[in-house]
A and B are shown apart, each in its own frame.
Chain A
Amino acid sequence: MTQQTAKDVATAGPADGIPDGIPDDLRRKALAKDWPLVTIVRALQGGVKEELLHQALDAGMTPIQAREMLLSGRGEGPTVSMAWAKVATERGIRAKVGKKGLTIDAINVGSYADVPDVWPDQTMRPRGSVVRPGAVSMGYTIYSKAEVWADNLGSLYEEAIQRRWRPATDIPWESIKPSAEDRERAMGQLCTELCEYNYMTILALGKWTREVSYGFHEVKLFLSTVLFDAGRHYEAFRKRALANGSGLGVQATGDRLIPIRDALCYAEMAAIVFLVNDSFIQSLYLLGAGLAQNEAESRLFSLAAQDKARHLAYGIEHTRYILEHQPERRGEISKYLAKGEEYLAKDHEKDAPMREALAILLGGGLEQIGEGFRKLKDFRRRQVLTYLSRVEAAGLTDHREHLWPEIAAYLEPAATPA
C-alpha cells in the first residue's frame, strides 16, 4: 500500500473530504517535517496526547523513530504507559553543590540518605530505587552495615579521586642519580616487599569488595579506590626498583599475608589490613620519604603515604563504628588485631633481607650497618607506638595490655651499652 505523505494530504486536504482530526498547527508541523499524516492520525486515535506529538516533532524525531516510539506492532496501539516514572521513589531531590562540587555525601538527601543497619536486598538494586520482582540474586554475603561501615567513607572516596597521582609522570624519575650499590640494593629489597604487600591488598580487597551488598555503595566505592591505590603503589615501587640499576630483591617471607588471605569475615580482614599492616607499612613509606636521596624518592614515598593515611582513616573509623554499634565484638576485634600482630612478628623475625636492608638505609650504608640496627630498634619502637595510638584512637584503649608479646617487646627500652 502506498503511504499517504504529509504533502499529499496538504495538497488534497483531508482524504475524501472527511475530517482526519489533526489540528491545524500539528498538521503544519508534520508537513514541514515530512511525517506521514497517517502516523499522526493513528497516534491520536490511539490516545497519544497532541502535546507529545509536538514534542517529538520539535525534537527532530524522524518519522521512523516516531513510529517505533509511538506505535507498536500489535495493532499499532500506544504502549508508553510511563508506569516506571510513577513508582514511589522520592522526588524533588535537589542536592546542593558545595565547595568540593557535587559530592557523594551531598547526594545523600532525604530518603536517599537512609542506610539501613541490615540491607534486605540480594540484587544489584541501587539504594533508593524500587524493587523489580524477579530480579536475580548477586550472591553477596555481607548485609550488615556495622561489618563494613565508617562515617567518613564518602569524604574518603572523594578525596581519593581528588588526590590521585600518576607514577609515570608525577614522579621526577630523572632526579634519581647513580648511588652506592649497597644503598641501591637495600632500596630494591624494600620496594620488592612493598610490591608484594600491595599485591596482597589487591587480592584481599578484590575478594571482599564483591561480597558487600549494594546498599552500602559508599563502601564499594571507597574500597575500589583502595584497590586502585594498591595497584598504583605496586606499579610505583616496582618502577623505583627498576629505575636505577638495582632491580628487585628477595621475595618476602609472606607470614604477614597469611591471616589476610585466611580471614573468614570482613571485620577480621579489615582489622588486619587497615589497622595492623597498614600502620606498619605507613611507617615504611614515611621512612622512605624521610631518608629520600633524591626528589623522586621523596615525592614517591610522600604520595604513597598520603594514600595510606586515607586507608588508615577508614580503618580507625570503621573500628569505631563496629565498637559503637556492636560493642559485644570488642574482644573479637582485639583477637583479630593480635592475630595480625602475631604473623607480623613472625615476618619480622624471619625476614633477614628486610631487616638488613632497613639497617643499611637507616645507617646510611653497609659500613654503618651496626648504627643502622640501633636505629632500626628505635624505628620499630616508634612503629609500635604509632600503631598503638591508632588502635587507641579507634576505641580499643586497653590494647597495649593485649599486644602480641614479640611486638610488645619493641617497646622495651634499649639496654645501656656497658
Chain B
Amino acid sequence: MATFPSVEWFEAVITVANEDGRLRKLGTCDAVMGVKVLDKAFEITFEAFDCIGVREIPSEKLAETDFYLEMPFETWQGMLENIKERGGTPDRQYTLNTIDFLDPEGFAKSDDQSKKDAFYRYGQTFQQFFNASSEIETVFAAPQPV
C-alpha cells in the first residue's frame, strides 16, 4: 500500500515497471519526466531500458526535466483508478495521449519543444509505466498547500 503522490508510490511503480522486461520490450528510452500534483513535484528518470529512479524536487526544478505532466489531483486520481479498474489497460479517455490532446494547454509541459517531444517519442513507455500502477495498492491523499 503506497500513497499517491509520494516517492514511495513511484518507487513501487518503478519496481513493477522494470520487472519481467515490460519496459525493455518497448525499446530504449532516455528521458527525465516530471510529475506535478498540486504543490508536490517529482522527477522520474528513464535510461536505456529501465526506469532508474525517482526523487521529490522543488516545483521550480521541473524546468530542468525534459517535460512534466501536470493536471488536477482529481484527474490524476481518476486516471489511476481507471488504470487499476481496467487491469492496466485504461479506457481511451484516460490514456496519456488523449488527456494531452483534449487539454487545450497540453498535459505535457516544457519551455523547450525539442525536449517536450520526448513525451511523444517514448509515449508507449510512459503509458506502460503508469499502467504498471494497476499492480500496486494505492491510497490517494491530496497534498496540502505549504
| Cβ-defined partner of A309 (8 Å) among B101, B102, B121 | B121
The one of A158, A292, A295, A305 that contacts B120, using a Cβ cutoff of 8 Å? A305
Contacts of A164 in B (CB 8 A): 27
Residue from the set B26, B95, B121 with the largest chain A CB neighbour count within 10 Å: B121
B57 interface residue, CB < 8 Å from A?
Answer: no
With the chains together, A302 CA to B124 CA distance in Å? 7
Of B11-19, B110-118, B135-143, the segment with at least 4 beta carbons within 8 Å of chain A is: B110-118
A224 within 8 A of B: no
Query: A residues within 8 A CB of B48?
Result: 98-100
CB distance from B24 to the nearest CB of A (A): 9
Asked whether A287 lies within 8 Å of B124 as measured between CB atoms, the reply is no
Segment with Cβ contacts to B, from A194-202, A388-396, A405-413: A388-396
Contact between chains at B113 and A390 (CB < 8 Å): yes
A159-B28, A163-B28 given as contacts; is B101 within 8 A of A289 (CB)? yes
Residue of A with least CB distance to B122: A306
A108 contacts partner chain B, Cβ-Cβ < 8 Å: no
Q: Which of A282-337 contact B (CB under 8 A)?
A: 282, 286-287, 289-295, 298, 301-303, 305-306, 308-310, 312-313, 316-317
Chain A residues with CB under 8 Å of B114's CB are 313, 316-317, 390, 393-394
How far is it, in angstroms, between the C-alpha of A61 and the C-alpha of B27 when the chains are bound?
43
Cβ of A253 under 8 Å from chain B: no
Binding site of A, secondary structure by majority: helix, strand, loop or mixed? helix
Q: Assess the A389–B113 pair: CB atoms within 8 A.
A: yes
Which chain A positions have C-beta within 8 A of B92?
292-295, 298
Asked whether A292 lies within 8 Å of B27 as measured between CB atoms, the reply is: no
CB pair A386–B113 under 8 Å, yes or no, is: yes
Q: Does B39 contact A (CB under 8 A)?
A: no
The reply to whether A100 and B97 contact each other, CB–CB distance below 8 Å, is no
A162 at the interface (CB under 8 A from B): yes
A378 CB–B CB distance under 8 Å: yes
What is the bound-complex CA distance between A389 and B101, given in angstroms?
A: 17
20 contacts between A and B (CB under 8 A): A98-B48, A100-B28, A100-B48, A282-B120, A289-B98, A290-B98, A291-B98, A298-B95, A302-B97, A305-B97, A305-B120, A306-B120, A308-B120, A309-B120, A309-B121, A312-B117, A389-B116, A392-B113, A393-B114, A394-B114
User: Chain A interface (Cβ within 8 Å of chain B)?
Assistant: 98-100, 155, 158-159, 162-164, 282, 286-287, 289-295, 298, 301-303, 305-306, 308-310, 312-313, 316-317, 378, 382, 386, 389-390, 392-394
Q: A159-B121, A302-B123, A394-B114 are in contact. List 10 more A-B contacts (CB 8 A).
A: A159-B27, A289-B98, A289-B123, A291-B98, A292-B92, A293-B92, A306-B121, A386-B113, A389-B113, A390-B117
The 4 A-B pairs with the shortest beta carbon distances in the complex, nearest first, are: A290-B101, A163-B27, A162-B27, A389-B113
